[in-house]
Amino acid sequence: MRDALRPAAPARAVWSYVRKAPGTFIWLAILFVTSVIMHHLAPDTLDQVLQHRSTNINNLLHSPGRVLLTSALWLAGGNWLYYFVLYNVFHVPAERWLGTRRWLAVMGVTHIGATYLSEGILALAIHTGAAPHSAVDTLDVGVSYALAGIIAVLTYRLPWHPLRYVYAAGVLVFYAIPLFDNLTFTDIGHLSAALLGLACYPITPGARARMRGMRSRRRRQSRAAAPAGSSNPGRG
């Protein structure tokens, strides 16, 4: 009887792993389907499909909600297996730690925020003549902004010691280096997403308690450092 049950153990282990990060694996499943579709489309048709879902300036002006959602369901020039590995390294632990709702919130902040920041800078470059007007239709699809934000917010998953600062510095350097070599609006978007991910600290688990604790320690230190008799001066 035990031997008959053994083959089910690996399946249960896989299911247990998947159900602890449902959003990540639903997203991966959608990306798998769209990646298969991409490989079966003719180049001209594929270009039309992606342009319709691109978060370029024109689409953001006319249908922002649609393109902000659908642009994150297609991989631009990436292999699905490559992202499968990255999602398991970063998204799975982030979703388990944050919970699905907070994980979605971080991705929304970073994906949307980085998109508008990068496209806003591109619009300014077009206005000043630094970029051609045709750039309003530049192709911009993919999941990399949300991924950059999740990689950055995982900084707060690490303990309070130099490892956290080393990790955060490494993330920022990684996304800042491309800014100094053939700068593009997507390079700006990736760094923006990482910075926005770091700014999501207040919604990480235990952040409020830690911030209250820090404020309480500062108040105690301030009272301890105050001269005798000055802690309660009265109303006068």
pLDDT of res. 11: 86
Domains belonging to the chain, first-starting first, are 2-206 (1.20.1540.10)
User: Residue 91 gets which letter from DSSP?
Assistant: I
pLDDT digits (tens, 9 = 90+) for 195-227: 999 999 999 998 766 655 555 555 555 555 555
Q: How many CB atoms lie within 10 A of CB 1?
A: 4
pLDDT of res. 225: 57
pTM: 0.85
Report the chain's mean pLDDT, rounded to a whole number: 88
d(CA 75, CA 38): 9
Q: Mean pLDDT throughout 110-123?
A: 97
Dihedral (CA of 18, 24, 28, 30) sign? positive
